[in-house]
């Protein structure tokens, strides 16, 4: 979000005008890093190497080619709320095979929004009196549309190498005041050898550009100037590439299955408060574990977002975000639940639910 433009008492109207700078910045288009699917969120978002369902269109498009070829269309949906319902995150997706069932397309739509924000630019009358009846509301929301493709590439050392890519279109709006369009590309690989899973994802590999435009009335501009704030101008926001490496191993013990995975996220937008921090590249690890019984019920846990914080005594400590969840599979219907912290590490845990429904080929 952009820096605050208005001082109290006009602040609530446009506090969401952040992230509008003419140069690359940290956390640009960060809503795309929240993650889709309760399974992934329960595993600390550590799924780059093992994902093989419709959510692969967002996590790693190569995983689309690792889906069970007996499935034709698969649908996915998720809803979660952040900060006591203030922010809402929604996801819808579908995937379908081409003539070769190992080649797949996926369509994904993501929305993260904050609704019912009061526009206090109209709070004051021309004579300086306050009119609380003149407080229209607006929404600040971010949308992303992804078109993804995955296919096997080759067989190597008795294993299979698969690749995928996504084209993403990003629309970000702040009520009637501002909007931006952005375009970017993701590319991913997965290597599978027996139980070994290795994944690689290059996010925003071309660098994603969001072009912002603003639409303020003359009265709005006057209010901004009178409150000591600059009137925003059209500008460009840049999302720099991220590189993610994942390694996992799936194995079975009787009817119990185990799938641990470790991910390393490398950001290139400057020093971040991560476990390994440097400029311009920082590294943030995450770990997830899924334990299943008879392919029916799954228990999951994860750790991610390791950060260094100082307490009142000036002593530094490492904090992290834990998560957990459960999943059920009923035929080709999947129900997943996650209990996770949205990211501020202040015990504001949220409940996340997601559904997947797959359709099998008709038997000849």
Does residue 261 fall inside a structural domain?
Answer: no
Question: Each residue of 198-232: pLDDT tens digit?
Answer: 999 999 888 888 888 888 777 777 767 766 677 67
Worst-scoring range by mean pLDDT, 207-211, 296-300, 356-360?
A: 207-211
Does residue 234 fall inside a structural domain?
Answer: yes
Question: Each residue of 261-275: pLDDT tens digit?
Answer: 999 999 888 888 788
Does residue 271 fall inside a structural domain?
Answer: no
At 35 the pLDDT is 85
At 335 the pLDDT is 96
**pLDDT > 50? residue 8:** no
**pLDDT > 60? residue 16:** no
Does residue 33 fall inside a structural domain?
Answer: yes
Q: How confident is the prediction for the chain on average, in pLDDT? A: 83
- Region 152-175: mean pLDDT is 88
Question: Each residue of 77-92: pLDDT tens digit?
Answer: 999 887 767 788 999 9
**pLDDT > 90? residue 278:** no
Question: Which of the four pLDDT bands, split at 50, 70 and 90, describes residue 238?
Answer: confident
Stronger pLDDT, 180 or 289, i.e. the higher one = 289
- Region 40-55: mean pLDDT is 95
Question: Which of the four pLDDT bands, split at 50, 70 and 90, describes residue 20?
Answer: very low
At 14 the pLDDT is 36
Does residue 98 fall inside a structural domain?
Answer: yes
Can you give the residue range of the structural domain that contains 142?
11-255
At 10 the pLDDT is 37
Question: Which of the four pLDDT bands, split at 50, 70 and 90, describes residue 347?
Answer: low
Worst-scoring range by mean pLDDT, 184-193, 232-241, 242-251?
A: 232-241
Does residue 348 fall inside a structural domain?
Answer: no
At 25 the pLDDT is 55
Does residue 287 fall inside a structural domain?
Answer: no
How would you write the chain as a 3-class SS string? CCCCCCCCCCHHHHCCCCCCCCCECCCCCHHHHCCCCHHHHHCCCCCCCCCCCCCHHHHCHHHHHHCCCCEEEEEEEEEEEECCCCEEEEEEEEEEECCCCCCEEEEEEEEEEEEEEECHHHCECCCCCECCCCCCEEEEEEEEEEEEEEEEEEEECCEEEEEEEEEEEEEEEECCCEEEEEEEEEEEEEEEECCEEEEEEEECCCCEEEEEEECCCHHHHHHHHHCCCCCCCCEEEEECCEEEEEEEECEEECCEEEEEEEEEEEECCCCCCCCECCCCCEEEEEEEEEEEECCCEEEEEEEEEEEEEECCCCCEEEEEEEEEEEEEEECCEEEEEEEECCCCCCCCCEEEEEEEEEEECCCC
**pLDDT > 60? residue 348:** yes
Stronger pLDDT, 182 or 59, i.e. the higher one = 59
The domain tally of the chain equals: 1
Does residue 43 fall inside a structural domain?
Answer: yes
């Amino acid at each position: 979000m952009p820096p605050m433009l208005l001082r109290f008492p006009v602040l609530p109207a446009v506090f969401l005008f952040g992230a509008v700078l003419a140069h690359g910045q940290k956390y640009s288009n960060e809503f795309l890093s929240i993650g889709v699917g309760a399974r992934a969120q329960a595993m600390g978002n550590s799924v780059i190497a093992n994902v093989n369902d419709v959510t692969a269109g967002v996590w790693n498009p190569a995983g689309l080619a690792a889906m069970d070829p007996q499935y034709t269309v698969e649908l996915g949906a998720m809803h979660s709320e952040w900060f006591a319902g203030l922010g809402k995150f929604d996801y819808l997706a579908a995937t379908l095979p081409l003539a070769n069932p190992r080649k797949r397309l996926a369509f994904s739509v993501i929305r993260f929004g904050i609704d019912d924000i009061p526009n206090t630019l109209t709070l004051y009358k021309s004579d300086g009196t306050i009119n609380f009846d003149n407080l229209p509301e607006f929404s600040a929301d971010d949308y992303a549309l992804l078109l993804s493709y995955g296919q096997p590439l080759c067989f190597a050392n008795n294993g299979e190498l698969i690749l995928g890519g996504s084209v993403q279109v990003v629309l970000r709006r702040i009520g009637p005041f501002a909007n931006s369009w952005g375009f970017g590309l993701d590319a991913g690989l997965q290597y599978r050898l027996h139980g070994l899973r290795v994944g690689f994802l290059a996010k925003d590999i071309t660098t994603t550009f969001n072009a912002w435009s603003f639409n303020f009335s003359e009265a709005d501009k006057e209010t901004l100037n009178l409150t000591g704030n600059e009137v925003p101008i059209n500008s460009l926001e840049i999302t720099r590439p991220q590189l993610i490496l994942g390694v996992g191993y799936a194995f079975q013990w009787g009817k119990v299955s185990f799938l641990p995975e470790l991910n390393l996220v490398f950001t290139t937008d400057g020093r971040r408060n991560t476990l390994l921090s440097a400029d311009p590249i920082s590294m943030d690890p995450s770990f997830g574990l899924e334990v299943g019984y008879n392919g029916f019920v799954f228990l999951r846990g994860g750790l991610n977002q390791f950060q260094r914080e100082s307490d009142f005594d000036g002593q530094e400590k490492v904090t992290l975000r834990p998560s957990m969840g459960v999943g059920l599979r009923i035929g080709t219907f999947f129900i997943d639940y996650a209990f996770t912290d949205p990211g501020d590490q202040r015990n504001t845990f949220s409940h996340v639910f997601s559904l997947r429904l797959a359709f099998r080929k008709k038997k000849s």
